[in-house]
Structure 1
């Protein structure tokens, strides 16, 4: 079961992998809108910092 805070459930390296995957998805998906890419980038930034 996941807690509300991912850092309680995952290691820093796992969080970094999630962050890299979000950035990769946001920058490489061909039909993604600019707004969706921006939101994914913001989410990726929050993965390690909250």
Structure 2
């Protein structure tokens, strides 16, 4: 229900969710299906790195 697809690469600044089978437009990594908790963690790591 709350699953989303995010770029799992914490060295990439792309934070928008996408759709199944897509790749990240910035780094080319395949988007990963994540739950709400894991998605929040990935976004927080990226914000710390790129702020």
Superposition TM-score, scaled by structure 2 size: 0.41
- Whichever of the two has the greater Rg, that structure is 1
Query: By percentage of residues, which structure has more helix?
Result: 1
